[in-house]
Amino acid sequence: MQATTRVRRIKSIWKSEPTIEGAGVHLRRAFGNREAHQFDPFLLLDDFRSDNPQDYIRGFPWHPHRGMETITYVLDGGVEHQDSLGNGGVIGAGEVQWMTAGSGILHQEMPKGTREGRMYGFQLWANLPASHKMMLPRYRGFGPKEIPIVERDGVRVRLIAGSVDGAAGPVKDVVTRPEYLDVTVRAQTRFVHPIPHGHTAIAYVIEGQGYFDPCRDPYERDEVGANYFDMKRDCLCDANTLVHYEREGDAVQVETKAYPVRFILMSGQPIGEPVAWWGPIVMNTREELRQAFEELDAGTFIKAR
């Protein structure tokens, strides 16, 4: 790491919370509507990992989206999907679906899981600026062979969007310059990754544990939702922990001790525009929301066929 690199500090951490979405899917929400103003350009992150089909089998029947993007990343199991563009299929293990709703799309997502009942995956929502909210919808799916893997010095990175050591992920030409990395750091290892100053940066721990900044001072950050009677302050971040970084700094650093850690690292350029959000539709003004729902009622919501 160069001497001029400024490693970011943690602004706040918290645990994802159990919630129910869709037609009755039990999942963990890392952040959503209440916290979205902190994570511009990101809106929501859901963790739908489960070994029990009753948690997810009801799925997400037909519903609309407008003005945003949904990024579905499956680790195990499969998600059957269909949309109003005529796309359909299964998002399988190791695959990514990057769907830009733009002017409007209808789709459904029905998790099926493995023969043993495992369904492991994540869905991230990303906002679009006003200039792109009514763009033509598009769908992009990437299989495991299309997602580069970079391995060095005890670190393994799956590159969905962004770049590491000269390798680039398959997701490009997105206005907010997002980065989406699946990172595994073995025990007794340090990982440092550059992120442009001012970009939003967040990490979500899948498994294991690690130190997510060099400070290691729990009094330098906010620990949201901590038990009032928990007198022990620990800097280790473990499974289901969301790490929200300060925007000052040029890189993030993760270091492990006795155990490895696996996490998703996401970053992007803030849009800095007003957000009017109701359910699966994200616009800039309430009037635009009103128009979207009036079009849904009138049957004129879908602009692209």
Residue 64: inside a domain, yes or no?
A: yes
pLDDT at residue number 139: 85
pLDDT at 5: 81
Q: What's residue 200's pLDDT?
A: 97
Cα angle, residue 94 at apex, residues 161 and 108 outer, rounded to 5°: 90
In the prediction, which pLDDT does 215 show? Answer: 78
Closest CA to 200 of 254, 262, 243: 243
Written as six digits, the tokens of 1 are 């790491």
Q: Which domain holds residue 99?
A: 10-298
Looking at the domain assignment, is residue 5 inside a domain? no
4 domain-assigned: no
Output the DSSP codes for the chain: --TT--BPPEEEEEE-EEEEETTTEEEEEEE-TTTGGGSTTEEEEEE--BS-GGGTTT-EEEEEEBSEEEEEEEEES-EEEEETTS-EEEE-TT-EEEEE-TT-EEEEEEE---TT--BEEEEEEEE--TTTTTSPPEEEEE-GGGS-EEEETTEEEEEEESEETTEE-SB---TT--EEEEEEE-TT-EEEEE--TT-EEEEEEEEEEEB-SS---GGGSEETT--TT-------EETTEEEEE-S-SSEEEEE-SSS-EEEEEEEE-------EEETTEEESSHHHHHHHHHHHHHT------
Residue 199 placed within a domain: yes
The per-residue pLDDT for 44 is 97
Q: Are 97 and 60 in contact (CB under 8 A)?
A: no
φ, ψ for residue 45 (rounded to 5)? -140, 120
Inside any domain, residue 304: no
Looking at residue 1, its pLDDT comes to 42
Residue 238, judged by CB atoms within 10 A of its CB (0-12, 13-18, 19+), counts as middle
**109-154, pLDDT tens digit by residue?**
999 999 999 999 999 999 999 999 999 998 889 999 999 999 999 9
| Residue 255 domain flag | yes
Residue 303 lies in a domain: no
The pLDDT mean for the chain works out to 92
The domain total for the chain is 1
In percent, the amount of the chain with pLDDT more than 70 equals 93
229's CB contacts (< 8 A; 6+ apart) are none
The pTM of the full predicted model, rounded to 2 decimals, is: 0.93
pLDDT at 229 over 60: no
Please count the residues of the chain. 305
* Position 71 pLDDT exceeds 50: yes
181 burial level (CB within 10 Å; 0-12, 13-18, 19+): buried
Bridge partners for 124 per DSSP: 45, 71
For residue 219, is pLDDT > 80? no
Cα–Cα distance between 151 and 167 in angstroms, integer? 11
| Interval 88-117 mean pLDDT | 94
The rounded distance, in Å, linking the Cα atoms of 9 and 246 is 6
Two tokens, residue 67: 């003005």
Mean per-residue pLDDT, 34-51? 94
Q: Contact, 102 vs 135, CB < 8 A?
A: yes
CATH of the domain at 290: 2.60.120.10
Place of tokens 């009138």: 298
| Region of poorest pLDDT, from 167-181, 195-209, 253-267 | 167-181
Q: How would you classify the pairing of strands 167-168 and 237-238?
A: unpaired
In the predicted structure, residue 3 carries a pLDDT above the cut 60:
no
Cα 263 to Cα 239: distance, rounded to the nearest angstrom:
9
Given a cut of 90, whether residue 64 has pLDDT beyond it is yes
Confidence class for position 252, pLDDT limits 50, 70, 90: very high
End-to-end CA distance of the chain: 50
The rounded percent of the chain whose pLDDT value lies above 90 is 83
User: Is residue 204 in a domain?
Assistant: yes
Residue 2 banded pLDDT, cuts 50, 70, 90: very low
